[in-house]
């Protein structure tokens, strides 16, 4: 596996070693020991989640606050997404910055999202299966988010925003400057 740091402190792109043959391919999806050796982080993932979405669905930008904060390892089983993470850690040198990457079933890339980051993704294909490992259980009272079109973040979603499919909740999320005091 190859680990490449992003422009955001403590976030990494993971490229697994793929072993193709005439039958298909094999790769190790996750190896805790190898991840710890290459990143210096020993993360105890406790739950795996999968969501299915159609082209144009945008989910995010979400995060869990306080003791319920979550680190995530995200990847795609089918289809593709534009994945976005925003560093919300006030003391981080990359605070308020974002990173974007296309994750797909074809490129097999994974993205590590540390605690203290907002996360969201835009589905680029129908029937996209998004998989993520998390290191903390969901707590409804700790859920939070920031609006996908926050003018201060200037995220380039590389998509016609008038064609987005959003949940009602995601359209009403606050802008980052409105929740700075809560971070």
pLDDT tens-digit series, residues 159-172: 999 999 999 999 99
Please give the pLDDT value at position 161: 92
pLDDT tens-digit series, residues 132-160: 999 999 999 999 999 999 999 999 999 99
Q: Where are the alpha helices (DSSP H) in 14-156?
A: 32-39
Instruction: At 65, list the tokens.
Output: 């606050």
Domain boundaries along the sequence of the chain? 2-182
**From its phi and psi, is residue 166 left (phi > 0), alpha (psi between -120 and 50) or beta?**
beta
Query: Does residue 183 surpass a pLDDT of 90?
Result: no
Q: What is the pTM of this model?
A: 0.95
Query: Does residue 181 surpass a pLDDT of 90?
Result: no
Query: Does residue 8 surpass a pLDDT of 90?
Result: yes
Instruction: Please answer whether residues 145 and 175 qualify as being in contact, where contact means their C-beta atoms are separated by less than 8 angstroms.
Output: no
Q: Please classify residue 17 by burial: count the beta carbons closer than 10 Å to its beta carbon, then call 0-12 exposed, 13-18 middle and 19+ buried.
A: exposed
pLDDT, mean of residues 89-101: 96
Which residues are identified as catalytic? Answer: 62, 132
Query: Does residue 130 surpass a pLDDT of 90?
Result: yes
Please give the pLDDT value at position 129: 98
pLDDT tens-digit series, residues 17-54: 999 999 999 999 999 999 999 999 999 999 999 999 99
Q: Look up the CATH architecture of domain 2-182.
A: Sandwich (2.60)
Residue 10 to residue 72: CA distance in whole angstroms: 12
């Amino acid at each position: 596996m190859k680990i490449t740091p992003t422009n955001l402190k403590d976030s990494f792109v993971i490229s697994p070693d793929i072993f193709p043959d005439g039958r298909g391919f094999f790769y190790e999806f996750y190896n805790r020991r190898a991840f710890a050796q290459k990143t210096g982080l020993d993360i105890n993932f406790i739950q795996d989640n999968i969501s299915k979405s159609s082209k144009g669905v945008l989910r995010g930008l979400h995060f869990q606050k306080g003791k319920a904060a979550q680190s995530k390892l995200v990847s795609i089983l089918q289809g593709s997404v534009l994945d976005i993470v925003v560093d919300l850690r006030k003391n981080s040198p990359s605070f308020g910055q974002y990173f974007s990457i296309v994750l797909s079933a074809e490129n097999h890339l994974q993205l590590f999202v540390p605690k203290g980051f907002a996360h969201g993704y835009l589905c680029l294909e129908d029937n996209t299966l998004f998989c993520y490992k998390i290191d903390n259980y969901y707590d409804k009272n700790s859920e939070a988010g920031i609006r996908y079109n926050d003018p201060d973040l200037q995220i380039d979603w590389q998509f016609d925003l008038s064609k987005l499919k959003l949940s009602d909740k995601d359209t009403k999320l606050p802008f980052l400057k409105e929740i700075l005091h809560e971070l």
